[in-house]
């Protein structure tokens, strides 16, 4: 199985900060990577798919980049509604679609 390593596990930031979360795959997954936002008691919400494509309705402050084994999610200016937990997921063909451990973004 492909192992996903996400960092950091917790991130303390202030409103207006630029925030970057990293996800590393144990082998190349091309651009088959998604980023989700999850709030307590809610299902994960898709933000980014195919590494850099923004899901419809998601603010343009969110962006994704990377290919192969290294990926990043960037929030250009953190808003109060963005404090949540973020997960990456690889969906390379014919492999279990494994997740990163999650990054909790909390108020500094």
Partner 1 sequence: EVQLVESGGGLVQPGGSLRLSCAASGFTFSDHYMDWVRQAPGKGLEWVGRSTNKAHSYTTEYAASVHGRFAISRDASEKSLYLQMNSLKSEDTAVYYCVSWISGMGYWGQGTLVTVSS
Please state the closest distance from residue 94 (CB atom) to partner 1, in A: 9
- Binding partner 1 (rule: CB under 8 A), the pick from 14, 16, 43, 80 is 43
- Binding partner 1 (rule: CB under 8 A), the pick from 17, 55, 72, 92 is 55
The residues near 44 (Cβ < 8 Å, ≥ 6 apart) are 36, 37, 38, 87
Q: Is the Cα dihedral 76, 34, 69, 85 positive or negative?
A: positive
Query: Based on CB atoms, which residue is closest to partner 1, 79 or 95?
Result: 95
Contact status: 50 vs partner 1 (CB under 8 A): yes
Query: Based on CB atoms, which residue is closest to partner 1, 42 or 60?
Result: 42
CA–CA dist 47, 21 (Å, integer): 13
CA–CA dist 20, 101 (Å, integer): 15
CB 29 within 8 A of CB 94: no
DSSP letter for each residue of 57-76: TS-TTEEEEEETTEEEEEES
- Binding partner 1 (rule: CB under 8 A), the pick from 8, 59, 68, 96 is 96
Please state the closest distance from residue 101 (CB atom) to partner 1, in A: 5
By the criterion CB under 8 A, which residues form the site for partner 1?
32, 34, 43-46, 49-50, 53, 55, 87, 89, 91, 96-102
């Amino acid at each position: 199985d492909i192992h996903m390593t996400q960092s950091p596990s917790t991130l303390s930031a202030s409103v207006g900060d630029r925030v970057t979360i990293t996800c590393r795959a144990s082998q190349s997954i091309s651009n088959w990577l998604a980023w989700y936002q999850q709030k307590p008691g809610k299902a994960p919400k898709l933000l980014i798919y195919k590494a850099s494509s923004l899901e419809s309705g998601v603010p343009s402050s969110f962006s994704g980049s990377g290919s192969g084994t290294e990926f990043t999610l960037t929030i250009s200016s953190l808003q109060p509604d963005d404090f949540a937990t973020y997960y990456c997921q690889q969906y390379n063909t014919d492999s279990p679609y494994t997740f990163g451990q999650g990054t909790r973004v909390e108020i500094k």
